[in-house]
Structure 1
Amino acid sequence: MPLVRSFLFTVAFYLVTVALLIGGLPLLVSRRSVIWLAQTWGRIVLRLLHAIVGLRVEFRGLEHRPAGGVLVAAKHQSALETLALVTVLDDFTYILKRELMWLPLFGWYLARSEMVAIDRSKGSRALALMNEEAAAAMADGRRLIIFPEGTRRAVGAPPAYKFGVAHMYDRLGVPCLPVALNTGVFWGRRRLTYRPGTAVIEFLPVIPPGLPRETFLPTLQERIETASDALVREADPRAAATTIRAAQD
């Protein structure tokens, strides 16, 4: 039965996504309308996930979201948080790899919504370009979302935080909102099977601007990892971290 539910959700997910990509083409006239469409897409997918799979998303710590521009640094375990975060963060901008901009139709929406795309082939120049675009987004008061580890990490895998988030924090001079989660327990990073239950995404207290980069990065990592580990234990207290990690690989 879980496999059947996972299959049905996968089919529904792609049908809804394609329908919105095609039906939403007139909304490409403005960035704001594309952001609205993305938030609508996220809400529909979360409802389908709950209705078909029995997996719901609980948000905690929403009161920690500051007004105005903020750097949102989130743990990344699955595709679920990519969808879910946009439903509770207004006027968001993702930092993402440039290759996503080449996807048919989907890339048009990313470009129109002014996401910050990283060209990894440019090396150190990519970091400078990312900071320039991020600064422009922050000047508009946006919620700039970054995954500090750069890619999805399996539950239980050692953290692999990149120094780019510290460069950005220092360059932008804005608060950083850490985000912990346990989504990988329910939605594997390389699997199309989903577990019922309650996945938690938790906004932690803001890290104020002004910390030295060498202090900020370990502080960010410690806060996110400690809270995420606690959420994983809450979601599956019977399983050891190595067991959960093996199930996700």
Structure 2
Amino acid sequence: MQRLRSYLFILQMYVMMLVYGLAYLPYALLSKDGARACCKAYSRYVFWTMRWMVGIRAEVRGEVPEGEVLIAAKHQSFLDIMMIFTALPSAKFIMKRDILWTPIIGFYAKRLDCVPVERGKRGAAIGKMVRDVEAGLVDPGQLIIYSQGTRVAPGVKVPYKVGTAVLYEQLGQACVPVATNVGVFWPRKGMWRKPGLAVVEFMPSIAPGMERDAFLAHLEETVEARSDALMREGGFDPDGLR
């Protein structure tokens, strides 16, 4: 029965993505606020349906930042994207350029000033983004980077990429680490959805000015330790796969 519920949930989720995307299109074309409103309304719809259809509840913990800040997040599935975006007042992502060609998502990503990155060229993209920020071409807000560069399944060890440290250094902004356990309930691949409490947690910010290697080591230790604790809270032992 849970498998059938999962299939039905995913089917209606993508149908409604099209519905929301088209319904908000005129507003999104006129204003970035419209694009942001669409993405938040759709995400809240998904949170509502996943609660009663597959038994997943969403909870955001910690102090959510409101000013200009770098967000360095753990990435396990599409769910943490929606939870982080909905929690923040003015979020934009550093993301793979391929996503720009995804129907609906690609258009809204462009409208929200998300930063596309080609594989192997993250350094160039970061440099351009910093220049755009300094020139006032990018609206202020919360810039989200996934420090491991991809979705990572619970219990799998993937090193943190230096791009986060370079961005932290060049922007001169505080960095807020974000931990999660959403992959326990909404995996990076497949259609199975498991009931439980999916958590995204904003942690105390790291002040600007740390040396690059020290920052990256501290970020990885902080996010991984807290994510492991959240996964154990959700009934998954991350050490079992290491």
On whether the aligned pair clears a TM of 0.5, the verdict is: yes
Distance 1:191 1:137 in 2: 41
Distance 1:137 1:70 in 2: 16
Distance 2:204 2:219 in 1: 11
What's 2:5 paired with? 5
Distance 2:164 2:5 in 1: 37
Distance 1:223 1:67 in 2: 21
Letter in 1 for 2:187: G
1:202-241 Cα shifts (integer Å, max 9, x gaps)? 111111111111111001001000101111111116x463
Q: How many equivalent pairs are there?
A: 241
Distance 1:67 1:240 in 2: 32
Distance 1:30 1:176 in 2: 28
TM-score (norm 1): 0.90
What's 1:141 paired with? 140
What's 2:113 paired with? 114
Please give the secondary structure, in 2, of the residue aligned with 1:11: helix
Query: Percent same amino acid at aligned positions?
Result: 39
Please give the secondary structure, in 2, of the residue aligned with 1:132: helix
Distance 2:56 2:214 in 1: 37
Letter in 2 for 1:41: Y
Distance 2:21 2:50 in 1: 19
1:77 matches 2:70? no
TM-score (norm 2): 0.92
The unaligned stretches of length 5 or more in structure 1 are none
What's 2:36 paired with? 35
1:171-226 Cα shifts (integer Å, max 9, x gaps)? 01111010011111111111111000101111111111111111110010010001
Q: 1:217 to 1:134 in 2, by over 3 A?
A: farther
Q: Is the 8 A contact 2:13 2:46 kept in 1?
A: yes
Please give the secondary structure, in 1, of the residue aligned with 2:87: coil
Distance 1:137 1:234 in 2: 43
* Mean Cα deviation higher: 166-175 or 134-143: 134-143
Please give the secondary structure, in 1, of the residue aligned with 2:47: helix
Letter in 2 for 1:131: V
Q: 1:93 to 1:184 in 2, by over 3 A?
A: same
User: How far has the Cα of 1:138 moved from its partner?
Assistant: 9.8
What's 2:210 paired with? 211
1:90 matches 2:89? yes
Q: 1:21 to 1:117 in 2, by over 3 A?
A: same
User: How far has the Cα of 1:132 moved from its partner?
Assistant: 3.0
Q: CA RMSD in A?
A: 2.0
User: How far has the Cα of 1:84 moved from its partner?
Assistant: 1.2
User: How far has the Cα of 1:121 moved from its partner?
Assistant: 5.6
User: How far has the Cα of 1:90 moved from its partner?
Assistant: 0.7
What's 2:55 paired with? 54
What's 2:22 paired with? 22
Distance 1:71 1:208 in 2: 11
User: How far has the Cα of 1:116 moved from its partner?
Assistant: 0.9
Distance 2:118 2:16 in 1: 30
Q: Is the 8 A contact 2:122 2:163 kept in 1?
A: no
Q: Is the 8 A contact 2:71 2:177 kept in 1?
A: yes
